[in-house]
C-alpha cells in the first residue's frame, strides 16, 4: 500500500481566554510587578495573575492515522471535535503542538470557497488570483480557464464584471470551479459544499469522486452532511473531544457517528 499522508501522535493545544492582559502597556505593568515581586496591578481581586496563568485546551489529543493513495477519507465528529483544527494543521495554516504529519505529493486545501477573491476585480482576474493563491501556476490557469468558466455555469458576459456585482450563487460557483480544477495529489476540503444549491453540490461531489477514481487523487473531506460523505468517501475517521475514536469504512463510521449523536 502506498501511504500518502501519515499523521503521528498529533496534538494541538490552545490557550484559552484572554491572552496576556490584551495590551502591551498592561502586560509590561504586570511583568514589572512580577520582576519586583509586587502584586500584579491587573490581578482581579481574589484572583490569580493573568500573566503566567495557564488555561489550556487540547483541541487534538494524540491523533494518529494514515491515508493511502486514492482514498477518499471522510472526517466526522460533532462541533468542537477537532476536525477543523486537524485540517488547519494539514494545510500548514497553524503548527501542531506536538507530533508530526508527513505528506507525499502536492496538497491543495480548500477550507473556504473563494478565499482571496477581491470584490473590485473581475471574475477573470479573480480566477487567476484565486488559482495562484491555491498554488496554481499562470500557465496552468491559462490552459484550464475555459473549462473553469464552463464548470461554473456562468454566462460569459459576467466573467469580465467585478465580482462585487455577482449574486452569491454565481460567486460560489465560480470559486468552486477554480478549486475543482486544482492539479494536486491530495485535496483537503472543509464543509465547502454547504454553499451552493443541491444540483451544484452533486456536480462538485461528482468532480471530486472522478478526480479520485480516475486520476488517483486522494481526498480528505470534512462535512456534517452524512449523505454526501457516504456518497463520496470510502474510508472515514471519527473524532470526539479531540481524540480519534474510530476509523474504518465510511459506512461503519457513519453508523457510529449517528449512534453518538442519538446518545447525546
In the complex, what is the shortest distance from the CB of residue 187 to another protein, in angstroms, rounded to a whole number?
Answer: 13
- Taking the complex as a whole, the smallest distance from the CB of residue 97 to another protein amounts, in Å, to 6
Please tell me whether residue 23 binds another protein under the rule CB under 8 A.
yes
**Chosen residue from 33, 51, 58, 111 binding another protein by CB under 8 A:** 111
Residue 215 found at the interface with another protein (CB under 8 A): no
Per CB under 8 A, 174 contacts another protein = no
Per rule CB under 8 A, is residue 143 in the interface with another protein?
A: no
98 binds another protein (CB under 8 A): yes
Distances, alpha carbon 171 to alpha carbons 89, 109, 115, 130, 188, in Å: 27, 19, 11, 12, 21
Interaction between residue 106 and another protein (CB under 8 A): yes
* Interface residue with another protein, options 49, 91, 161, 231 (CB under 8 A): 91
User: Helix 168-180 crosses helix 123-133 at what angle (to 10 degrees)?
Assistant: 40
The span from the CA of 200 to the CA of 170, in Å, is 11
In the chain, which ranges are continuous DSSP H helix? 24-35, 83-90, 123-133, 138-152, 168-180, 198-215, 226-232, 250-263
Largest CA distance in the chain: 70
> Distance between CA 71 and CA 183 in Å, rounded?
17
Does position 9 interact with another protein (CB under 8 A)? The reply is no
Selection from 161, 153, 67 nearest residue 121 by Cα: 161
Q: Does 135 bind another protein (CB under 8 A)?
A: yes
CB-wise, 27 or 240, nearer to another protein?
27
**Residue 95 binds another protein, judged by CB under 8 A:** yes
Task: Kindly tell me which of 121 and 260 has the beta carbon lying closer to another protein.
Answer: 121
Does 137 participate in binding another protein (rule CB under 8 A)? yes
* Torsion angle, alpha carbons of 109, 111, 113, 114, to 10: -70
Cβ-based nearer residue to another protein, 14 or 259: 14
Nearer to another protein, 222 or 253 (CB): 222
Q: CA–CA distance from 98 to each of 136, 190, 244 (Å)?
A: 31, 23, 16
Q: Which residues bind another protein (CB under 8 A)?
A: 3, 6, 14-15, 19-20, 23-25, 27, 88-107, 109, 111-112, 115-116, 118, 120-121, 125, 128-129, 132-138, 162
Amino acid at each position: 500500500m502506498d501511504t500518502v499522508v501519515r499523521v503521528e501522535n498529533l496534538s494541538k493545544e490552545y490557550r484559552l481566554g484572554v491572552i496576556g492582559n490584551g495590551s502591551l502597556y498592561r502586560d509590561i505593568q504586570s511583568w514589572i510587578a512580577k520582576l519586583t515581586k509586587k502584586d500584579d496591578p491587573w490581578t482581579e481581586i481574589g484572583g490569580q495573575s493573568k500573566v503566567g496563568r495557564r488555561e489550556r485546551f487540547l483541541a487534538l489529543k494524540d491523533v494518529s492515522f494514515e491515508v493511502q493513495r486514492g482514498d477518499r477519507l471522510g472526517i466526522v465528529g460533532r462541533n468542537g471535535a477537532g476536525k477543523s483544527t486537524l485540517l488547519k494543521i494539514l494545510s500548514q495554516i497553524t503548527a501542531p503542538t506536538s507530533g508530526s504529519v508527513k505528506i507525499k505529493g502536492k496538497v491543495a486545501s480548500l477550507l473556504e470557497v473563494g478565499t482571496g477573491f477581491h470584490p473590485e476585480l473581475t471574475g477573470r482576474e479573480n480566477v487567476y488570483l484565486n488559482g495562484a493563491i491555491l498554488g496554481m501556476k499562470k500557465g496552468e490557469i491559462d490552459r484550464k480557464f475555459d473549462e473553469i468558466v464552463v464548470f461554473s455555469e456562468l454566462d460569459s458576459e459576467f466573467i469580465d464584471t467585478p465580482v462585487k456585482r455577482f449574486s452569491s450563487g454565481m460567486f460560489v460557483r465560480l470559486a468552486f470551479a477554480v478549486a475543482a480544477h486544482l492539479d494536486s495529489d491530495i485535496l483537503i476540503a472543509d464543509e465547502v459544499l454547504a454553499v451552493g444549491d443541491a444540483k451544484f453540490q452533486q456536480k462538485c461531489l461528482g468532480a471530486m469522486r472522478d478526480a479520485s477514481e480516475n486520476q488517483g487523487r486522494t481526498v480528505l473531506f470534512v462535512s456534517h452532511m452524512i449523505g454526501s460523505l457516504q456518497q463520496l468517501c470510502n474510508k472515514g475517521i471519527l473524532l470526539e473531544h479531540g481524540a480519534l475514536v474510530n476509523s474504518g469504512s465510511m459506512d461503519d463510521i457513519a453508523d457510529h457517528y449517528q449512534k453518538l449523536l442519538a446518545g447525546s
